[in-house]
Amino acid sequence: MKKYLLPTLTVIGVALGIFIGMALSQKANAQRLVYQNGQWHLEQTKVDRLLQLMENAYVDSLDIDSITDEAMTELVKKLDPHSAYIPKEDLEMVNSELAGSFSGIGVQFTIQQDTVRIVAVIAGGPSAGVGILAGDKIISVDDSAFVGKKINNEKVMRTLRGEKGTEVKLGVRRAGTSETLYYTIIRGDIPVTSVDAKFIIEPNIGFIRVNKFGETTYKEFISALAELYSKGARKFIVDLRENSGGYMEQAIRMANEFLQRGDLIVYSEGRAYPRYEATANGGGRFKDVPLVVLIDDFSASASEIFAGAMQDNDRATIVGRRSFGKGLVQQQMPFDDGSAIRLTVARYYTPSGRCIQKPYTLGDQEDYQHELLDRFDHGEFYSADSVHFADTTAYYTKSGRIVRGGGGIMPDVFVGRDTTLNTPWYNRCVNHAYTYQFAYQYTDKHRKELSRFKDWKSLENYLNSQNILREFVAFAKEKGVEPNEAQIQKSKPLITRLLNAYIVRNILGDDGFFPLFERDDEITKKAIEIL
């Protein structure tokens, strides 16, 4: 159930300290850690006493656990935008995003027309073993209807995931069959991968896309490097666009592969968090290969640690657009009831000494979340001259180049969004996801003939011969987007590329999608030019 766009994740730091950890793990309600007579003590606070009074003395019975969860959520909202309280029912799902695996049925899905539709079945997974096929539509789960307006991604994941060894019964509708097919699936371990794509994009140039920094990221990454090297790659592009972060330690291990012994990778410190420095040990196997790192507005936290280490050590050329700007370190700490808090405990700093955290106001989540929209309104996505940093201090890379802090990593080579082929017709089609919807329906309708192709180039050639653009224009018109021939012709290269890439992904997965999609990407083309 991997998604292209993942939700924003936090950098999980090293241990904060035994006393704070003990204090936070004692209870889900508030207590104060105090030092008296040579010893640490947990002291009740007003919040703790209030909850006890409500539970024991209030006129009616209360669901005190639910009230506590609500109170905890509101308390943490008073902090920075990246601290978060995680109720116990959400913790497993949140943690699984960065784990090496989770337990489920092993499918990728989309929701269209209030129905769960299987996009792909993970090879060797539980669903593949019982005969679930791409294109199947799930209409019931455990003999209960599972369609309608209330179906969303979160509900689907909660329902299909579950403890390893447990059963779930699916009712499925399949093209060409009028009856409902029923399958009982035993949930199993489903791997969570971090490397979306690894391929030779040009002779001697390897391309690796990393979607997050999870438990297995370094292992996957070094394997991808080795594989591409064996195929002749001697220069590399590391794509961290839309990578919202994850474990700091994984980013450090990745950076170590490219740096010389003693090079500083990152350091972090906080009020109750002693300074921690990570330096390269000299054991990296790719210390001298030419390297380009791609970033964009959604590259955050661990992505920025890696990009910042490469930039400040003058080890790689950073290409793309200014990154998100998350320079805070979170520590996840459990409570006895199975919930947890991810609490910001430190800031991290790139080797030049800059903190790339963008400005925020305690308790003000709304302005912080709208900051990217403000960047767009200011024209920053299109012009480097529109970029402004909150920190005006000059920081210096190893060779003396000036870099800035206080708002993300500014690439060495800025590539703005291409507006030459954009039109209102194209933007409306993309913004409403009509391209994605059409690609799924086209794939479902022609799956038999499309499945004959085993590589993306031959499948793309076939699609180009089918004139699917005309079909899409008619599809978009049914959705309310009136055709505009001049705009259609202007945006034809963009819309055709997108439709072909989505259809290829539906048949061949990410191994087909990314080589096709990246071939004409402006940021990727600039990286190839530099290398």
Give the model's pLDDT for residue 22: 41
Please report which confidence band the pLDDT of residue 43 belongs to, taking 50, 70 and 90 as the band edges.
Answer: low
User: What is the C-alpha separation between 87 and 471, in angstroms, rounded?
Assistant: 46
* Short-list 258, 256, 247, 259, CA closest to 216: 247
Please report which confidence band the pLDDT of residue 275 belongs to, taking 50, 70 and 90 as the band edges.
Answer: very high
Q: Is pLDDT above 80 for 7? A: no
Give the model's pLDDT for residue 3: 35
306 vs 99: which has the higher pLDDT: 306
DSSP states along 459-475: HHHHHHTTTHHHHHHHH
Please report which confidence band the pLDDT of residue 378 belongs to, taking 50, 70 and 90 as the band edges.
Answer: confident
Give the model's pLDDT for residue 14: 35
What b-and-e string marks burial along 427-448, b requiring 16 or more CB atoms within 10 Å of the CB? ebbbeeebbbbbbbebbbebee
* Short-list 270, 357, 304, CA closest to 15: 270
Give the model's pLDDT for residue 15: 37
Secondary-structure class of domain 101-191 per CATH: mainly beta
Stated as kind and residue range, the H or E segment containing 396 is strand 391-396
Please report which confidence band the pLDDT of residue 246 belongs to, taking 50, 70 and 90 as the band edges.
Answer: very high
Across the chain, mean pLDDT equals: 88
User: What is the C-alpha separation between 5 and 368, in angstroms, rounded?
Assistant: 20
346, β-bridge pairs: 329
**Which distant-in-sequence residues (6+ apart) come within 8 Å of 390 by Cβ?**
358, 359, 406, 407
Stated as kind and residue range, the H or E segment containing 291 is strand 291-295
306 vs 422: which has the higher pLDDT: 306
User: What is the C-alpha separation between 138 and 107, in angstroms, rounded?
Assistant: 11
Q: Is pLDDT above 60 for 12? A: no
Q: Are 441 and 115 in contact (CB under 8 A)?
A: no
22 vs 527: which has the higher pLDDT: 527
What phi and psi, each to the nearest 5 degrees, are found at residue 286? -130, 40
Helix/strand/coil for 123: coil
Question: pLDDT tens across 310-347, in order?
Answer: 999 999 999 999 999 999 999 999 888 889 999 999 99
**Which distant-in-sequence residues (6+ apart) come within 8 Å of 377 by Cβ?**
none
Question: pLDDT tens across 183-206, in order?
Answer: 999 999 888 899 999 999 999 999
Please report which confidence band the pLDDT of residue 37 belongs to, taking 50, 70 and 90 as the band edges.
Answer: low
User: What is the C-alpha separation between 496 and 519, in angstroms, rounded?
Assistant: 13
Indicate the burial class of 14 (C-beta count within 10 angstroms; 0-12, 13-18, 19 or more).
middle
State the DSSP code for 409: P
What phi and psi, each to the nearest 5 degrees, are found at residue 59? -60, -35
Q: Is pLDDT above 90 for 399? A: yes
Give the model's pLDDT for residue 5: 33
Q: Which two tokens stand for residue 338?
A: 């199975």
Q: Is pLDDT above 60 for 403? A: yes
User: What is the C-alpha separation between 211 and 194, in angstroms, rounded?
Assistant: 5
Question: pLDDT tens across 348-377, in order?
Answer: 999 999 999 998 889 888 888 888 888 888
Q: Is pLDDT above 50 for 166? A: yes
* Short-list 250, 247, 270, 239, CA closest to 411: 239
Helix/strand/coil for 239: strand
Q: Between vectors from CA 159 to CA 155 and to CA 162, what angle results, nearest 5°?
A: 135
User: What is the C-alpha separation between 328 and 330, in angstroms, rounded?
Assistant: 7
- For residue 146, CA distances in Å to 163, 171, 244 come to 20, 9, 31
| Stretch 137-144: mean pLDDT | 93
* Short-list 530, 5, 4, CA closest to 237: 530
- For residue 351, CA distances in Å to 5, 34, 61, 354 come to 29, 35, 56, 7
Q: Are 316 and 295 in contact (CB under 8 A)?
A: no
User: What is the C-alpha separation between 96 and 84, in angstroms, rounded?
Assistant: 16
Give the model's pLDDT for residue 114: 87
User: What is the C-alpha separation between 215 and 390, in angstroms, rounded?
Assistant: 33
Please report which confidence band the pLDDT of residue 42 belongs to, taking 50, 70 and 90 as the band edges.
Answer: low
363 vs 11: which has the higher pLDDT: 363
| Stretch 469-478: mean pLDDT | 95
Hey, how many other C-beta atoms are within 10 angstroms of the C-beta on 65?
Answer: 14
Indicate the burial class of 112 (C-beta count within 10 angstroms; 0-12, 13-18, 19 or more).
middle
Longest dimension (CA), the chain: 82
Please report which confidence band the pLDDT of residue 20 belongs to, taking 50, 70 and 90 as the band edges.
Answer: very low
Give the model's pLDDT for residue 325: 94
| Stretch 21-41: mean pLDDT | 50
Of 86-90, 324-328, 385-389, the least confident = 385-389
Q: Are 299 and 407 in contact (CB under 8 A)?
A: no
| Stretch 512-517: mean pLDDT | 94
Please report which confidence band the pLDDT of residue 39 belongs to, taking 50, 70 and 90 as the band edges.
Answer: low
User: What is the C-alpha separation between 450 and 453, in angstroms, rounded?
Assistant: 6
Give the model's pLDDT for residue 26: 43
Helix/strand/coil for 19: helix
* Short-list 293, 295, 210, 228, CA closest to 259: 293
Q: Is pLDDT above 80 for 211? A: yes
- Distance between the two ends of the chain, CA-based, in angstroms? 35
Give the model's pLDDT for residue 272: 87
| Stretch 235-259: mean pLDDT | 96
Give the model's pLDDT for residue 249: 96
The verdict on domain 195-329+350-417 having CATH code 3.30.1490.20 is: no
List where CATH 3.90.226.10 sits in the chain. 195-329+350-417
Give the model's pLDDT for residue 351: 98
List where CATH 2.30.42.10 sits in the chain. 101-191
Of 117-131, 212-226, 454-468, the least confident = 117-131
